[in-house]
Amino acid sequence: MAVAQGLTISLALTGLVLGLPGERGVGPAVAQVAPPGMKTMPAPSPTHVHGTPQGWRFAWPRGDAARGREVFQKLECYSCHEVRGESFPRPSDTARLGPELSAMGPMHPPEYLAEAIINPSAVIERNRGYAAPDGSSKMPSYDESLTLQETIDLVAYLKQLRPPSAAAPSGHSGHTMP
């Protein structure tokens, strides 16, 4: 028994010198050697192992559409995007002209609109003139200039937009540039 205790102490000191983790990953290393003829039990599997639940899907949080409209104005999104039914100035940057937005709310889920703001090059409608010469989106990314709450609110604003009348063109067309 003295040999086993001596071996345990020796292994524990070696673990300390080498910086090995101790029992349960906390404190100094303590090597445990079973005396001859004694069986060791395998370590229990950790109960803290997690995985993504089956069927899980990210759900975009609800935001405040009124604050989102303020963000739209602050960023001057109207300089590239017309919003029929709103009193914003007409788009002025014809080189960066993007889609008319009044019909976007019912057309896209909020996650799509968020991606268009954060990573506009993820999906580009190339045949509509929204691609830059290098193939990226003409729309700049706002991933570093918006807070998460501002992005949530801006998406809420875009989601509640509707064309002013049934006669208004739907989809991504229909700019009324001067």
pLDDT digits (tens, 9 = 90+) for 126-172: 788 889 889 999 998 888 899 999 999 999 999 999 998 754 444 44
Domain count, the chain: 2
Distance, in Å, from the CA atom of 25 to the CA atom of 149, rounded to the nearest integer, reads 38
Residue-range definition of the domain harbouring residue 23: 1-35
Q: Are residues 17 and 100 in the same domain?
A: no
Query: Is the pLDDT assigned to residue 6 strictly greater than 50?
Result: no
Residue 19 lies in a domain: yes
pLDDT in tens, 86-134: 999 999 878 888 999 999 999 999 999 999 999 999 998 878 888 988 9
Q: Are residues 29 and 80 in the same domain?
A: no
Asked if residues 168 and 176 have their Cβ atoms less than 8 Å apart, the reply is no
The pair phi, psi for residue 131, each rounded to 5°, is -95, 140
Asked if residues 65 and 156 have their Cβ atoms less than 8 Å apart, the reply is yes
Q: Which residues of 41-52 are buried (b: 16+ CB within 10 A; e: fewer)?
A: eeeeeeeeeeee
Which of these ranges, 37-51, 68-82, 152-166, has the smallest mean pLDDT? 37-51
Q: Are residues 69 and 112 in the same domain?
A: yes
